[in-house]
Structure 1
Amino acid sequence: MAKGKQKITAQKDTFVKVLRYLKPYWFYLGLSLVFAAVSVALTLYVPKLTGRAIDHIIGAGKVDFPAVLAILKQIAFAIVFTGLAQWIMNICNNKMTYHIVRDIRNEAFRKIEILPLKYIDSHSYGEIVSRVIADVDQFADGLLMGFTQLFTGVMTIVGTILFMLATNVGITFVVVLITPLSFFVAAFIAKRTFTMFRLQSETRGEQTSLIDEMIGNQRVVQAFSHEEKAMEQFDEINDRLEKCSLKAIFYSSITNPATRFVNNVVYTGVGLVGALTAVAGRISVGDLSCLLSYANQYTKPFNEISGVVTELQNALACAGRIFDLIEEEPQVPEKENAVDLANAFQGKINLSHVYFSYAPEQRLIEDFNLAVKPGQRVAIVGPTGCGKTTMINLLMRFYDVDSGEIRIDGTDIRDMTRKSLRTGFGMVLQDTWLKAGTIRKNIVMGKPDATEEEIVAAAKASHAHSFIKRLSDGYDTVISEDGGSLSQGQKQLLCITRVMLCLPPMLILDEATSSIDTRTEMKIQEAFARLMEGRTSFIVAHRLSTIREADVILVMKDGKVIEQGRHEELLKAEGFYAQLYNSQFAV
């Protein structure tokens, strides 16, 4: 019982949120309602005219042709204006629907931009994409059907009853008496469809996530012969999707025939009572024809509305998932008096008593302290999982510390704007990222106003210029998402070029040359050495040969700095660093 109440409450909450997005488009809604009313009124007026025409056909040779012709002209005008009203109504409904969908997608994408990385890291990309694309599309379909058919359906029911009352009260009473049965049947089925459609939407998101993951990593899947395992996973999800979709579609599909049965009962009742009334001489044959037509039109919206209700259940289920994303807690907002130090960084960095863990039950960094002088080159080494990349996440404020503080030039990074903090760092990671577009657009990402001379100079400094010139259109060569046919080394060179172009006051190099050949790496190390002069630099490396010249080497283990010093000092100490170094270079 409690679950049922929760579902109804969830539906109501979702519906209220949809109305919030509808609010800016009340004009279109009002216009749609007006033309829906006009369309319904004219549609219902046609049977009245038809009944009058029938009453002018008394029998063989007793037809009032002028009167019938005049009525036919009125019917023609009514049909033309009905079509025009429906056309304008559909334009209004389409504008409303796709403006609302546009607003929801925009808000969802804006929320993704400010969501903490913790959310992105804990949810698969495919599942998030499914919410923004597939779920919003399903919501749009249901919303459009609701606007188009729900308005006209309800107005048709009300209008038909009024016209029938004007014709014959007794027969109208028969119709109204049987009507609640149709509502009961539709409501009974609708209650059971929402949960099933939501489950269908969630399972579809899970399927999209798996497909996205398998396609994005197809080479790895094939290299490790993981195809069969991937197929098993897909089949399992697909089977679950089949079952929940079958249940959802089954319940939604029985709505229409169930209401049609009730509607046929209504039609039969009107026909039977109307025939007896006509035989008794209390109504004309034309009125009987009119009432039968109204009975048919009266029941028709129930079929449409039952279908609309089913689609709305699906739409609300999908809307609920996208609203869940939109209402996720954003990253910690910046302080009102946050300072902008982008152009004033000296590079003095202090970490004091820093505690951090990704999950409360798994401790990672505890009581971490570090003082870095301006212009120092700090290398961070240690085994996998010791907290090296976590340090980078904290410095860039991708994650906030649980306790303690990180200060740059004496200012807590939580007291400065994220934009200025991240503008102060140039970062090259082992994982490259390139967007679809030209080589030039990928290079100038951090400095959009860079001149051609600056771009070429940065590319030459990173040793990317030579391979770029060999491409079909040089710097104007269009590449697909994530670099397309470029090698991993070429993609990394482009990422290094970005940093060379921006010349930030602080650098973070996380395995920045891991995919580059040894000869090019030596040249880039020389370029980095020149770039790092006078700049505070953090170098994360597994290959210890790349960090010998660092001013300070931090040796991390289990989230703590267990050794620190220069290369020669650490080797003489014969501690953990010496073991790591000798494991790579000892013969």
Structure 2
Amino acid sequence: MPTEKSMDFRGSGARLLGYLRPERLQMTLTVVLAVLSVALVVTGPKILGEATNIIFEGVIGRRLPPGVSKDEAIAGLRANGEDTFADLLSGTDVVPGQGVDFARLRDVLMIVLAIYVGSFVFGWLQGRLTAGIVQRTVFRMRESVEAKLQRLPLSYFDRQPRGEVLSRVTNDIDNIAQTLQQTLSQVITSVLTVIGVLAMMFWISPLLALVALVTVPLSVVVTAAIAKRSQPQFVAQWQRTGTLNAHIEEMYTGHALVKVFGHQREAISTFQEENGHLYEASFRAQFISGIIQPALGFLSNLNYVIIAVIGGLRVASGTMTLGDVQAFIQYSRQFTQPLTQIASMMNLLQSGVASGERVFDLLDAEEQSPDPDPATQVPTPVLGRVAFEDVSFSYDPENPLIEHLSFVAEPGQTVAIVGPTGAGKTTLVNLLMRFYEVDSGRITLDGVDTATMTRDDLRSQIGMVLQDTWLISGSIEENIAYAADEITREHLVEAARATHVDHFVRTLAEGYDTVIDDEGANVSAGEKQLLTIARAFVADPAILVLDEATSSVDTRTEVLVQQAMNALRAGRTSFVIAHRLSTIRDADVILVMEHGAIVEQGTHEDLLAAEGAYARLYASQFADAATALD
């Protein structure tokens, strides 16, 4: 995956925000609460400046002789050559001879306390609402991704490493949730704070407000320049995360084979290489974007120094009160702080939008063709006549696999499919299950084209046991009952007995309540295979598909399972894919495939007599053993 590709930040960000539409009412309430909270916060410094003025005026008033007016005191100071002090005094409401008015000071401080408590309450409510908005939004996104995964064709998962898909579904969505949670409330609050503080700054002193605004364009330029450089690095970071996860998942899944074939060093070397790539991409992304905050901090401090100097001179000249300067300095800090927060949030926003783009890439993947509407109903009852009529299919248009293939499986027949690896045996089953769609021709079930049915209706009539066993994390009972909506314990045990599962389950301490993980670590490979066969028994399907279903079972158990399968196949159409020809001698029809075509078909005896492809396969497996027995 190219790491130098720039993402569509604006388009992907807008699409990400689109998931917030269902929360419009809550978002409106959040904005109202934010306005109230910010309004109180912005009012606080101005009122607190009045407290400073009360103290300052009380201290100055004590130094002046009582019984004179303010104007007389100023005139006396000027007469004594104290013009600076006189100018300072002219900008205050001092009462000569009067000290600090503690009653008034108390009232002002109580108002400030009430303002900040109210701001906290509104801010807390806003945070609580925001948390709910974000979690519901991400909940819907996860639902969309899960629904999308169900609609994707099998070919998508064949092309994508499982670890990469899992990284998009877990890591990227978690990163989106973290981004929304940390930025949503802060963005609203920061923007409102900038507006409110700016208004208060112009109210107090337009001159100082203009001075404070000088650094804003510079801050925007610095932020934009740094963000542009860090943006592609975040794309690379999450792409490398997916690649590394894919490698870890593969190595963990096949850890036994990695050790058996002594591939640990190569696995570790690949891990270190991918981990190094992730480190470099993450370092560049975090370092470049991390420059934003200290750069803006420097501009903020520079702004603070300029305001403090000019404000001090204006207090000395009597054109501003000390409380107003104090309030303005607080506002200047409050003004630059949200700007800094917004800038630092660019780090999170770029990371979150990069993850969003990866999730959207999954959501935009081409889906399997929709089910027909209206769909043809599955015949009732299902007899199980399956016909392939002039079917052609290829995974790659440049390399045809199956061309003009036709055969019929009559109701109740057992159809065995044999042939060398890559001949197209499993592909036939995938086409029957509609995991892939045929390029031409059609497949019918009891005369009805399966393409006119819904996939769920079609697959509900088919039971499947694969060579690769698959179990869920849960009890043995839950694994066997996975294929049935409702099943009694008696029916489940009956199916377990038929597939010889009951015997080994009763040797376990907790019996059917024994919990196994998805890898089946506490049961053997053969026992896992038996569990999947029991699951097919419970489904009671009209059609059975057995893809090397006894490959992990020992010879003695294979005989028992074959007997059980013979009973299960009675009255059902069965497709058996097998390499071990001993398991399909009693099949009604054996299809021999080579290069996607059926080169022979017939019974075991007929095909041996024909001395063709099947006879050669059979001889390669049994000729030596038969000679030894003779």
Question: What TM-score results when the alignment is normalised by the length of structure 2?
Answer: 0.90
* Deviation of the 1:207 alpha carbon: 0.7
Report the equivalent of 1:182.
219
Report the equivalent of 2:20.
22
Alignment of 1:87-486 (within 5 A): 87-341=124-378, 343-486=380-523
Report the equivalent of 1:51.
49
Secondary structure of 1:46's match?
Answer: helix
Asked if the contact 1:351–1:371 (Cα under 8 Å) also holds between the matched residues in 2, the reply is yes
Which range is displaced more, 159-168 or 60-69?
60-69
Q: Is the aligned partner of 1:497 residue 2:534?
A: yes
Supply the AA of the counterpart residue of 2:601: Q
Supply the AA of the counterpart residue of 2:587: A
* Distance in structure 1 (CA, Å) of the matches to 2:464 and 2:379: 15
Secondary structure of 1:538's match?
Answer: strand
* Deviation of the 1:137 alpha carbon: 1.3
Secondary structure of 1:482's match?
Answer: coil
* Distance in structure 2 (CA, Å) of the matches to 1:508 and 1:377: 10
* Distance in structure 1 (CA, Å) of the matches to 2:554 and 2:509: 23
* Deviation of the 1:54 alpha carbon: 1.5
Q: Deviations over 1:370-391 (max 9, x none)?
A: 1222121111100001000111
* Deviation of the 1:484 alpha carbon: 2.5
Which structure has the larger Rg over C-alpha atoms?
2
* Deviation of the 1:279 alpha carbon: 2.4
Report the equivalent of 2:83.
none
* Deviation of the 1:37 alpha carbon: 1.5
Asked if the contact 2:176–2:356 (Cα under 8 Å) also holds between the matched residues in 1, the reply is yes
Match for 1:549 among 586, 606, 612?
586
* Deviation of the 1:349 alpha carbon: 1.3
Q: Is the aligned partner of 1:580 residue 2:609?
A: no
Asked if the contact 1:182–1:263 (Cα under 8 Å) also holds between the matched residues in 2, the reply is no
* Deviation of the 1:496 alpha carbon: 0.9
* Deviation of the 1:193 alpha carbon: 2.1
* Distance in structure 1 (CA, Å) of the matches to 2:384 and 2:259: 46
Q: Deviations over 1:157-195 (max 9, x none)?
A: 111111111111111121223311111111111222221
* Distance in structure 1 (CA, Å) of the matches to 2:277 and 2:380: 55
Asked if the contact 2:419–2:594 (Cα under 8 Å) also holds between the matched residues in 1, the reply is yes
* Deviation of the 1:25 alpha carbon: 0.9
Q: Deviations over 1:186-223 (max 9, x none)?
A: 11112222211111001001111111111111111111
Unaligned runs of 5+ in 2: 63-98, 625-630
* Deviation of the 1:344 alpha carbon: 2.4
* Distance in structure 1 (CA, Å) of the matches to 2:245 and 2:539: 37
Asked if the contact 1:266–1:299 (Cα under 8 Å) also holds between the matched residues in 2, the reply is no
* Distance in structure 2 (CA, Å) of the matches to 1:200 and 1:178: 32
Secondary structure of 2:285's match?
Answer: helix
* Distance in structure 2 (CA, Å) of the matches to 1:296 and 1:180: 17
Asked if the contact 1:341–1:421 (Cα under 8 Å) also holds between the matched residues in 2, the reply is yes
Report the equivalent of 2:563.
526
* Distance in structure 2 (CA, Å) of the matches to 1:452 and 1:350: 37
Match for 1:41 among 39, 42, 65?
39
Supply the AA of the counterpart residue of 1:353: D
Secondary structure of 1:33's match?
Answer: helix
* Deviation of the 1:99 alpha carbon: 1.1
* Distance in structure 2 (CA, Å) of the matches to 1:242 and 1:475: 46
Secondary structure of 2:214's match?
Answer: helix
Asked if the contact 1:342–1:420 (Cα under 8 Å) also holds between the matched residues in 2, the reply is no
Percent of pairs with identical residues: 41
Question: What TM-score results when the alignment is normalised by the length of structure 1?
Answer: 0.97
Supply the AA of the counterpart residue of 1:440: E
Asked if the contact 2:153–2:368 (Cα under 8 Å) also holds between the matched residues in 1, the reply is yes
How many residues matched? 583
* Deviation of the 1:35 alpha carbon: 1.7
